[in-house]
Structure 1
């Protein structure tokens, strides 16, 4: 199975519209996302990409792990940007995802790295590769803001 990791950001007149715009930026807006905790299956290959490829018909269910940051127009007075971060540690067997959100890219990167380290300590698995992808968005006094990093597991599937 291929897991595609893509980030996006967006603005909109509501929080949900901004989230939808961020998903559209990553090309993952046409699916019903079903979140899972954070384990990479042993047979999966994780690929960091700019935008997700076509993963099936619109309206299908798509299994994901996601990091999601959001801001209201009022938040723009306190912060210039928001950041979503998703990291993964993989090896020859199973792997892990870890997600975080906030306003400082270096803090998010550190939090994700620390989370992955803690997860590795809990498991007797071999890890050979570790990566972190951040997505950021400048806040706006005129719109809601969202940033996402989404790991999409395989192809989408029909809901029914």
Structure 2
């Protein structure tokens, strides 16, 4: 059985890319090439909210993720949220949904849960109660702020 780790981070920096890279570092996934997938949790996976990723393999490898990301300029607020639910008491397939933006955490959480509920209606599975993780950061004058929440699928894999 593989493990999907939910990780999160936030940061501020002088450029948009630097704030994103620093937020990934805060989550422990800065050294991987992230490959984004849509949202389905395999039936064989355990989902664990861990905060910061452990060592998932050598630097530069590919890491499969579902990612919520928000970046704002100046003194705005970036909020990113990831919600998930599995079926069969955590032993069946499930879904991730992500939402992010320049909004308060409550609004982002409401939107991500609404999206998850919509995705659940498209499937004939009986879902457990959803879980959520929200990351929020306020920007600074003349800079950027980024919040991320990611679901990292298993270990990294070589690209070439």
Shift of 1:28: 0.6
Name the counterpart of 1:150: 150
Report how many aligned residue pairs link the two structures. Answer: 155
Which runs of 5 or more structure 2 residues have no equivalent in the other structure? none
Tell whether 2:85 aligns with 1:89.
Answer: yes
Shift of 1:126: 2.1
| Residues in 2 aligned to 1:91 and 1:128: alpha-carbon distance in whole angstroms | 6
| Residues in 1 aligned to 2:126 and 2:153: alpha-carbon distance in whole angstroms | 21
Name the counterpart of 2:35: 34
Aligned counterparts, 1:1-160, within 5 A: 1-73=2-74, 76=75, 79=76, 81-92=77-88, 93-102=92-101, 103-160=103-160
TM-score by length of 2: 0.94
Which runs of 5 or more structure 1 residues have no equivalent in the other structure? none
Deviates more, 1:105-114 or 1:148-157: 105-114
| Residues in 2 aligned to 1:122 and 1:142: alpha-carbon distance in whole angstroms | 44
Higher strand share: 2
| Residues in 1 aligned to 2:73 and 2:132: alpha-carbon distance in whole angstroms | 26
Deviations 1:107-150 (A, max 9, x none): 11111111111001000112113101001111111321100001
Shift of 1:86: 0.4
Q: Is the CA contact 1:2–1:44 (under 8 Å) kept in the aligned structure 2?
A: yes
Deviations 1:65-122 (A, max 9, x none): 000000112xx2xx3x210000001123210000111211111111111111100100
| Residues in 1 aligned to 2:93 and 2:35: alpha-carbon distance in whole angstroms | 20
For 1:68, what is the secondary structure of its paired residue? strand
Deviations 1:44-77 (A, max 9, x none): 111001211100000000000000000112xx2x
